[in-house]
Structure 1
C-alpha cells in the first residue's frame, strides 16, 4: 500500500529552480532516506509535503488524497527538538495529540519509560541532555495521529556517541511500531543503517538521480557498519554523491 506519492513535483522561487519533475512513492511502514548535495532542495521538499509551501506543478498525495498546501497531515521532527520550555516532558510528548483533540497519557508514559525517560515525566527540557530531548521529540512525533513521519536530520547536532545510541534506539522503535518514515540526512552511514531504501537527489534543480535498495536484512545492529559489505555499499553511495557535488 502506497502512503505518500509525489508526482511531477516542481518548485521555483523567482529564477531559482529548486525541484524539477520529482517523482517518489513510499509504501506503508517503509523507512526511506534522502541524500543529496547541500542546497538540493531537501528542506523545500519537506515543507511542501507538510503543506507549508505549495508546488508550482505536480501533486502530493497521502493515501490517495491530494494534500497540496494542506497542513496537519503529517508528523514532523526538525533538527532541533523544539520542545516547549514551559511544558513538562510528558506534556510536550502529548502536544501533537492535543492539537487533534485527543490524548493518550498512559501510552505516552509507557513510551517515555521505554525510552529511558520514565524518571523525567515531570521534568522540563532544560533538565535533559541533548539525546534525551531528541528521544522526547521523537516520541511526540510518534504519538501524533498522522501516519507519515518526516525526520529532518534529527541527530545532526549530537556528538558521535550519542548519535550512535540514538540510531540504535530509533531502529528498535521502528522495529516495534513500523511507522512510515521519510528521513533527511547528510550522513551516508546513517542512511544505510536505518533505511529500507535511499533516494539520491541530483544537483539543483533536483530530480531523483537514483533510488537504491539497502541490501541488508533487519533487524540491524551496531556491528553492521564494520562489515565489508557495508563498507563497499557506502563507497558506492559516496561515489554517486561525489558526482553530484562536482556539478556546477
Structure 2
C-alpha cells in the first residue's frame, strides 16, 4: 500500500491562479474524496500528481519519495474508460502491468470474474455497456503495478441507478484490496458513501477549505443513503460548498 503527501501546491494557467498552496494527504489504505464544483481544479490536481502538468510550486511525496514531474508513479482512471478498441477486454485490463512487467493473466481473469465480467474476456469495448466498460477500466487500475490509485469522476456519465450500482461494486472490490485511493467527484452523496474522509475545495483559486471525516461503518449498504445521519451530513457538506459558491 501507499501513502501520499501534497504540500503547498500552486498552479496557474496564464494569469489565472487555479490552485493556491493546497495541501492534502492520503494514508495507507485510505479512501479520500476531493469534492468541489466544476472548474475548481479537481482534475488539475491529478494531472500534477501524475506528472502530466508541472506545478508552479509545491511538492508531492509518495511513500516519502519526492515524485514531482515523474510519470508512471500512480494508477490513474479518468472520467472516460479510455479502453483501446482494438484490444479485447483481457488485453485491456493487463495494459498497465504489460508496460512495467509481465502480465498475470490468471489474476486478470479472476478480477474480471469478481467484476461480473466472466465470459467477456475476448469481447471488445464496443460490445459492452457503459457500466461494464467502467468496471473494465477500474480492474485495469487495480492490476497496474502502482499501488496508489487516482479516480477522476469515473461514474459521472452514468445514470443514477447504474452509478449507485457501480459505487457499491467499487466498494466491494476496494474493501478486499484496500489500496490507497484519491477520488474526485462533484456529487456529495457519492463522496459520503465511498469515503473515509472528504476534502472540500474552495474556488478561484482552489485550496482545501473544509475536511469531513466519515464515521459510517464498513461495509456500507444502500440503505445508508436515507438515514437521518447521512442526510444531515449531506446538508452540512452542501452548506460548506454553497458558502464558497455564493
TM tier, shorter chain?
Answer: over 0.9
Match of 1:63 in 2: 63
Match of 2:12 in 1: 12
Aligned mates of 1:39, 1:124 — CA distance in 2? 34
Match of 1:119 in 2: 119
> Given the alignment of the two structures, is residue 45 of structure 1 paired with residue 42 of structure 2, yes or no?
no
Runs of 4+ in structure 1 off by over 4 angstroms are none
Q: Secondary structure at the match of 2:171?
A: helix
Q: Deviations over 1:143-189 (max 9, x none)?
A: 00101100000000011111111000011011111011000011100
Aligned mates of 1:121, 1:212 — CA distance in 2? 40
- Please say if residues 9 and 55 of structure 1, whose CA atoms lie closer than 8 Å, have aligned partners that are also in contact: yes
Larger deviation, residues 191-200 vs 93-102: 93-102
- Please say if residues 2 and 180 of structure 2, whose CA atoms lie closer than 8 Å, have aligned partners that are also in contact: no
Aligned mates of 2:167, 2:82 — CA distance in 1? 19
Match of 1:137 in 2: 137
Structure 1 segments unaligned to the other structure (5+ residues): none
Match of 2:207 in 1: 207
Structure 2 segments unaligned to the other structure (5+ residues): none
- Please say if residues 2 and 25 of structure 1, whose CA atoms lie closer than 8 Å, have aligned partners that are also in contact: no
Distance change in 2, residues 1:120/1:94 (3 Å): same
**1:208 CA displacement:** 0.5
Q: Deviations over 1:52-76 (max 9, x none)?
A: 0111111011111111111000000
How many residues align structurally? 246
Q: Secondary structure at the match of 1:191?
A: helix
C-alpha root-mean-square deviation of aligned residues, in Å?
Answer: 1.0
Alignment of 1:1-248 (within 5 A): 3-246=3-246
**1:2 CA displacement:** 6.8
